[in-house]
Structure 1
Amino acid sequence: MSALRIGTRGSALALAQAGTVAKALDGELVVIASEGDTSTASLASLGGTGVFAKALRDALLAGEVDAVVHSYKDLPTAPEPGLAIAAVPKRADARDALCSRKVEGARDGLTLETLPEGARVGTGSPRRRAQLAAKRPDLELVDIRGNVDTRLGRLTETGERGLDAVVLAAAGLERLGRIDAATELLDLDAWPTAPAQGALAVETRRGDERLAKRIAHKTSRLAADAERGVLARLEAGCAAPIGARAFVEDGMLFLTARVYRPDGGAQLTSSHAAYLEDTTAAEISTRVADELLASGAADLAPLGGDR
């Protein structure tokens, strides 16, 4: 039997992520270029989260590969006709990481609390911008794009391109062997991250889900789907500053979601928990999202975007 052909984007992070899946499934990687990898435009202007998935999905539907690997947070929440999420492997660290410029004479880098007033902090995420503005309104927030190395490289630059800190996903840093660049890992209770951050999704053609069954991690899938369910119910796209955290403990599923005003000046939070035998990811995410909507989330943040 020939090796499973696993499609992936060509970035260093995508290759590292897909490489772990290929190793677990005894597969071989097939690199597929996407517009999101080649364009320098903002994610929102390119069409949102789905820009990274389209080329992979086209190749999968065309039979050029047998499965594709996505960062689950990059997938639109609406199902893709003919395709299925066959497996979510065990989730990596869902936290955000602050990576700050090295300070002479300091053994450790600066944290969010100790960054100087007016420090320049880079991020391309509306959620992170809102969270940073809420926590430290004195910071100068800089919109950035690029891969992990490009973003970290701006910490050593001077002038207009120089930054004092960037905020990145801890999971991506770990997968690239760059977690040592993090000077602070931000607590999920105070700093919820993008729905499904840290989780991978292995997608196949519908009916071929068995190809990835052996790497499926039930509780990781449950938590990620609960978080993404909030996005789906809110009809929120990549421009909506929304953070979510779900986890399973003592037979219960816990879910918290937070909607921010884009400038960080206000926020709404909803939390629910239920025993696993009494709920599904869809049910608990509906309760959380409906509570947010009833509290005025649609007036706070741009909802009704791409899903």
Structure 2
Amino acid sequence: MSLLAPGTGCSSCTIIDFLPLLCPSCDLPFCSDHIHTHQPCASFISASSHDVAVGKLDRGKKSCEKEGCERETIESVAGVSGRDEEERIAREVRCEGCGGSFCTSHRAQTSHSCPAPLIHNARHDNFLVRRSRAEDLIAKNFAGHKDRVERKMPTQKDVVKKPRIEEDKLPPSVQPAQSASTASPESTQEETKVEKKVKSKAEKLWDIHLRKIRSTATRLGVGANIPDTEKIFFEWGIDLTGTKVKTWKGKWDTKLERAWVGEDIPIGKVMDLIIAQSKTSRMADTKFSLVQLYPAPDGLPSSTSLSSHQPAKAITQGAALILVRGEMV
């Protein structure tokens, strides 16, 4: 079609149609108004239409020609009717020998006692050989298999579960009788105890700090191992002049060592272990003390001078112990 002459003229009228329709009988182009009414094909089309309403499928159910079989034929399932029965689409699904219309189970010649000569099919012959061998093998190894009654599953039924209706959504007239007086004060207190306290950001960071100390701390001194519940975990450092302790605002500017001791060890013994571990020179007349630095998660940082007679359980878990010369008040 040339660009200078777009469209095609209808064979019945003078209209130039840009989307012409070809008649399947005469192969001539027509417009949408004359595709079904043009001559000489009008009588043929009306005869082959079988008075079928537009938008509906004329599909009459046809049963299999096999005696005793009530299944639907392949042509009936596919909706083949009218002219299609004489075309290739119908011949392909019928029996190749007698041309009968059968279901999928009886289409083969050997399935419906076809009177026509058996059409040679190498694939089908191989199937028959394999089936015969299988039957012989089953009969040899399983003598009672042939007479065995095949089990059938019981009829399945769909169980419809009713949706569970929450009591809170029910109207007051339907809700179960439960007065407020039946709830005892003890149950109310128990429910209050179950409620967990929401930790603040500072408390969560302090928990992470404690886990780091517990995972990397080493024992200060020697002795038998004890359970974790009896251990005191802390960090320790040296500030003999006490300058950093006096100006401490919550964060130590140098690296601290991580250690743990038993909760029953005196703090004086802990101080001796820190002096020995840090190799700090100690004169006979020199006095030392331990200062605990504890940055409270939701409070102000505090520094406390520890007494050498106190047990180690007086140390706050995760706090920093700083060795200073002299007494720090």
TM-score range, shorter chain: under 0.3
User: What is the TM-score with the length of structure 2 in the denominator?
Assistant: 0.17
Structure with greater proportional helix content: 1
User: What is the TM-score with the length of structure 1 in the denominator?
Assistant: 0.18
Structure with the greater relative contact order (CA < 8 A, sep ≥ 6): 1 or 2? 1
Higher Cα Rg, which structure: 2
